[in-house]
Structure 1
Amino acid sequence: MTELTSTEPGTQVRAFPLERGCPFAPPQQYAELREAEPVSKVKLKYNGREAWLLTRYEDMQQMLRDPRFESDIADPGYPLQFAFPLDLLEQGIVSKTLFHMDPPVHTKHRMILMPELTARQVEAMRPRTQEIVDELIDAILAQGPGPVDLVKTLTAPLPSIQTAEQLDLPRDTTDLFYRWIALLVTQGTAEEHASANAEVEMLLHRLIAERKANPGTDLISNIIKRNDERGGELSDLDLSALVRTMIAGGHESTLNGMTVGIFTLLTHPEQAALLREHPELGGQAVDELMRYSTVSDHGTVRVAKEDAEIGGVLIKKGEGVICALQAANRDPRVFSNPDTLDFHRKEASANLAFGSGHHRCAGQTLVRMQMEVLFSTLLRRIPGLRLATPVDELPFKGETALIDGLHELPVTW
């Protein structure tokens, strides 16, 4: 039963995140709320703030495209679910990333980054992605029939290697970046967040200075050059924030999406066999896996800049809103038989796993390509792959994580 907390006499508000019966499926109450109370009040377990929870696809699309809702993490009504040190923003030590900007500032910053993530640029990266995946699988096969942890050997290394190469990051810096990313999606302390953010910022300022003096062909050099061509609109602090956006966005969500995607394939052998036999379904399969196993469930949040009505409910200025993306991606009004994994599903690309509106994930084309290469190659090269641990014993990342996933994925073959 869902935990309820009382905030005013006679008023009960659900504690959020909602409890799950199965860690690998959305909370059952999402379906109930979607039909009976699609815009409902919740109270965050993390800090006690109240916010509105959306569970219908249509309402989320409306809200995410409505300029009356903003992404400002510093707003008192923002549904903050981790200990981000806001004083770093106030002191000018770090700048907001794309995740927490709104037009026209967001548009200006995004235009500096997007040429690095066009469909043509991403497709040019496909051969290297294939090489990395094959090299990682070679190493897995060399270990014998397992058990092997695919998080450690495959889904964590792939985005780490590709992001490091794209940014030309020094090898000795990656531990710092990924310690910082891990804090972003868990409930670490404010002191831990502040320390890691300050370290990352110092390192990025050094890298930006080095690339200004000796530019290369990497992403950091390219955004510096593009910014110069536009008259130096962005400061070094802003450029650093763009790099932090790429590192954060290109790692944790991708890693967990790949891990949960493989788990879903292994627990749906008929769909895995279909993809193995028809690799041309790769793009469609990725869309369906993103829909069915949405890992970033409640990290898409906004705050109302003025009164606005969503789903027949008045959301007042200053009130926060949380999108339950797993609920939207199982909405039967949009997806037929939504609780069924179906790689022939035509409407799968309509999923909201990458968000919507001007904040739709900038790196979605890259992530989809990486997943397509990974899933199809893994199924082809290790056709007998199977779980080495019972499903109910797998170490699922709990409700303190903003992104769903597994700490380990032991397999054999």
Structure 2
Amino acid sequence: MTAEHPGAPAPLVDANYHARPYPDRFRELSRSGPVRQVLAPGDIPLWVITGHAEGRAALSDERLVKDPFNLPGTAAGLGRTRWPEDVTLVSGRQLLNTDGETHARLRGVLGPHLATRALMDKRPMVTAAVKVLLDRLADEEHIDLVTDFAEPLNTVVIARLLGVAEDACAAAMACCRLLLGPRHPEEPEMRSAYLEMSEALAEFVSVREHEDAGDDDLLSVIVGALRARRIRRREAVSMVGSVLLGASSPPVTLIAVACALALCDQDFRFTVASGSVECAVEEALRYQPPVSFSSWRFAREPLEIAGTRIDRGDAVMVLLAAANRDPRVFAGGDRIVPDRSGPAGHLSFGQGPHYCMGAAVARLQAQVAVPAFLDRFPTARLVRPLEETVWEGVLGDRRPVSVEVALR
């Protein structure tokens, strides 16, 4: 039986939404069923999927599309009028807002260069970057895992993969983090950040266009595709933007959270120390995904999800954090089980044709950084429990404000 739409949906964000890593609101949504409608920032009606099976299916459902521009009556006019957290919808034609053949064409440019196998020869670079950062922190008494370790590491890695200067990359990603947040895009600081990011992206492409080809960094790959007329110039600029938007924050959150889990959970730490860091990182991804919600999707036609009717044009997101704790799939989902195994994996990087293209980059950074941090600072401890960490952001870019650590 199809469930009719309930009364007025409640706001997603409540008074305690930012007070802990996994908000009570997520638990409430999970208890109310696998599909629930809420109000996202800007009072946008949003269908939230909390079930693992339902979320996995939705992420591969071709009736749920990323491009809102071909849909009349999209929820709250997303894609036509600016709303909080809509930057991925309005930043040009790129991987985060296209579907079908267009998405496959764009993904085909960078996808092969970001696969796990293609990144194998980048591990020494990441290892060296981690060592430099740890050497820099060696004399400190207290550090913030976010701003002193994870964020600068991610900046170095992304800058080198992309092929741009570290300071320019840091500035562009700072703009991305601001733009991905819940502030209204018409605020002066948001407008300024969007302009600064747009100018930086165009400059990155323009400078590389006037250089000789041959480098294997991502910017050279993008410009090579532009010269070969596989993509248009505007697509090239937007593609650089999609890389920075996708990489500006999630790897930082993953590194900081995984290091923190190693400091507060003995089983997690033992799993890392025993050489099974890959298992530990996957459990960190499941337990506290660096992106709480999947990106925007819109119903191309009326459909049902778990018996709930979704109308054409409605906005839909998967609450990845809740799907990853679905008790039907993950026994004891609220507990950390570093050697967890089973047939069904977490959804932290999505599923289907829009599976996160930067997943291997985030995994590589965490797999190198966490054991190196523990080896360098074996007596480090969290200043306060991870559960007391304050978080910022609402939907996709929900991240810890800081994770303070006493190194001695």
TM-score by length of 1: 0.87
Distance 1:15 1:245, change over 3 A: same
Alignment match, 1:213: 210
Match of 2:84 among 82, 85, 106: 82
Rounded Cα–Cα distance in structure 2 between residues aligned with 1:116 and 1:322: 28
1:84 and 1:194 in contact (8 A); partners too: no
Aligned residues: 392
Q: Tell me if 1:331 matches 2:320.
A: no
1:183 and 1:193 in contact (8 A); partners too: yes
Q: In the TM superposition, what whole-angstrom CA distance separates every residue of 1:128-183 from its partner, at most 9, and x where no partner exists?
A: 1011111111111133xx11222222101111011111222134423430231122
Rounded Cα–Cα distance in structure 2 between residues aligned with 1:153 and 1:85: 27
Alignment match, 1:203: 200
Q: In the TM superposition, what whole-angstrom CA distance separates every residue of 1:33-56 from its partner, at most 9, and x where no partner exists?
A: 435422122122x21121211110
Alignment match, 2:39: 43
Q: Tell me if 1:245 matches 2:242.
A: yes
C-alpha displacement of 1:392: 6.8
**Farther off after superposition, 63-72 or 22-31:** 22-31
Alignment match, 1:155: 150
Alignment match, 1:406: 400
RMSD between aligned residues: 2.6
Rounded Cα–Cα distance in structure 2 between residues aligned with 1:291 and 1:390: 19
Distance 1:240 1:51, change over 3 A: same
**Farther off after superposition, 178-187 or 332-341:** 178-187
**Farther off after superposition, 32-41 or 282-291:** 32-41
Match of 2:11 among 8, 15, 27: 15
Alignment match, 1:222: 221
Distance 1:152 1:392, change over 3 A: same
Moved over 6 A (4+): none
Distance 1:62 1:390, change over 3 A: closer
Match of 2:366 among 347, 350, 371: 371
Distance 1:348 1:196, change over 3 A: farther
Match of 2:62 among 67, 71, 78: 67
Letter in 2 for 1:249: G
Distance 1:333 1:200, change over 3 A: same
C-alpha displacement of 1:285: 1.0
Letter in 2 for 1:294: P
Q: In the TM superposition, what whole-angstrom CA distance separates every residue of 1:11-53 from its partner, at most 9, and x where no partner exists?
A: 2422113564784343345445435422122122x21121211
**Farther off after superposition, 369-378 or 262-271:** 262-271
Letter in 1 for 2:218: L
Letter in 1 for 2:11: A
Runs of 5+ consecutive residues of structure 1 not aligned to the other structure: 1-7
Rounded Cα–Cα distance in structure 2 between residues aligned with 1:398 and 1:152: 14
Distance 1:85 1:272, change over 3 A: closer
- Percent identity of the aligned residues? 25
1:284 and 1:349 in contact (8 A); partners too: no
Letter in 2 for 1:275: V
Letter in 2 for 1:27: P
Letter in 1 for 2:219: I
Match of 1:108 among 92, 105, 108: 105
Letter in 1 for 2:13: P
Rounded Cα–Cα distance in structure 2 between residues aligned with 1:128 and 1:349: 32
Match of 2:338 among 329, 336, 343: 343
C-alpha displacement of 1:328: 0.2
Q: In the TM superposition, what whole-angstrom CA distance separates every residue of 1:69-117 from its partner, at most 9, and x where no partner exists?
A: 111255553586625479x95xxxx513311111111110000111221
1:397 and 1:407 in contact (8 A); partners too: yes
C-alpha displacement of 1:316: 1.1
Alignment match, 2:296: 301
1:85 and 1:194 in contact (8 A); partners too: no
